[in-house]
Amino acid sequence: MIPLDQAVVARLESYGERFEVLVDPNQAMRIRQGESIDLEDVVAADSIFSNAAHAERASEEALLKVFKTTEFEQAALRIIQKGEIHLTAEQRRHLIAEKRNRVITFIARNAVNPQSGFPHPPQRIELAMEEARVSIDPFKSVEEQVKEVVKALRPLLPIRFEEIRIAVKIPADYAARAYEITTAGSLEREEWQKDGSWIAVVKIPAGIQEEFYDLVNKVSKGNAETRIVERMS
């Protein structure tokens, strides 16, 4: 369990009843975004309160009325997933900044400027977000907010989400490390040649194309062959 001084209140009001759980705001956010986390790492106490500030526990009757159970884990998860998480101003600023950076990174890695075919640098995306006065919700997932952010950015930045299929041939001398390049994307096809070389098609986000080529060159010491097979938007 987390220390009490690091916890905030997650509150759910339903059928005239109020339920509160003391939680770590960062871990609670991960649960809200669908991650599977041990509840012991999220809560500061294994109790459902009607008023956490006064340590007043919710009655069994109230729990049964709303959750159909008195079991702590089921009720606590419902409160975290469906209720309000009350953050301090500093906690909210921290979560917004963290989520903002993740949104920027996602766009930089997965989108390109359709006029040049190259990704927008993160700083350019951040400046455009400031100009468009984009607001980040600390409680929404990155994927959910990316759609809203990109819609706001399009009048300012030419932007398109794109994936690339790249054919790679790694000579036999370096083929033992060939699978390292698949960490940058997804391996769609592979074939071992009679001379021991390795040929594959890897799909990657367009924004990491240069990063991918750097990885291929590192694995093959600059001796690999690459060719773009297809661009997909």
This prediction's pTM: 0.65
Residue 71's identity, in one-letter code, is E
Give me the sign of the Cα torsion angle 51, 19, 17, 72: negative
Q: What is the pLDDT of residue 42?
A: 93
Please provide the CATH number assigned to the domain covering 4-86: 3.30.1250.10
Alpha helix segments (H runs only) across the chain:
25-32, 60-67, 72-82, 89-110, 122-131, 142-153, 209-220
**Which candidate, 2, 20, 1, places its Cα nearest to that of 10?**
20
Q: What is the pLDDT of residue 14?
A: 94
| C-alpha to C-alpha distance for 218 and 155, rounded to whole angstroms | 38
Per the listing, tokens 């159909």 go with: 68
Q: What is the pLDDT of residue 95?
A: 84
Q: What is the pLDDT of residue 92?
A: 84
Pick the CATH number of 89-160 from 3.40.50.720, 1.10.10.900, 3.30.930.10, 3.40.50.1860: 1.10.10.900
User: Mind giving me the DSSP string for 120-154?
Assistant: PPHHHHHHHHHHTT----TTS-HHHHHHHHHHHHT
CATH class of the domain comprising 163-232: alpha beta
Q: In the structure encoding, which two tokens stand for residue 79, read together?
A: 């409160």
With a cut of 50, which residues of the chain have pLDDT below it? none
Contact present, 103 and 142 (Cβ < 8 Å): yes
pLDDT tens digits for range 5-36: 888 999 999 999 999 999 998 888 888 878 88
Q: What is the pLDDT of residue 210?
A: 87
User: Where are the chain's structural domains?
Assistant: 4-86, 89-160, 163-232
Question: Going by C-beta distance under 8 Å and a sequence separation of 6 or more, which residues neighbour residue 153?
Answer: 107, 125, 128, 129, 132, 134, 159
Q: What is the pLDDT of residue 173?
A: 94
Topology agreement, domain 4-86 and domain 89-160 = no
Q: What is the pLDDT of residue 71?
A: 95
Question: Which 8-state DSSP code applies to residue 89?
Answer: H
Q: What is the pLDDT of residue 232?
A: 80
Beta-ladder partners of 231: 164
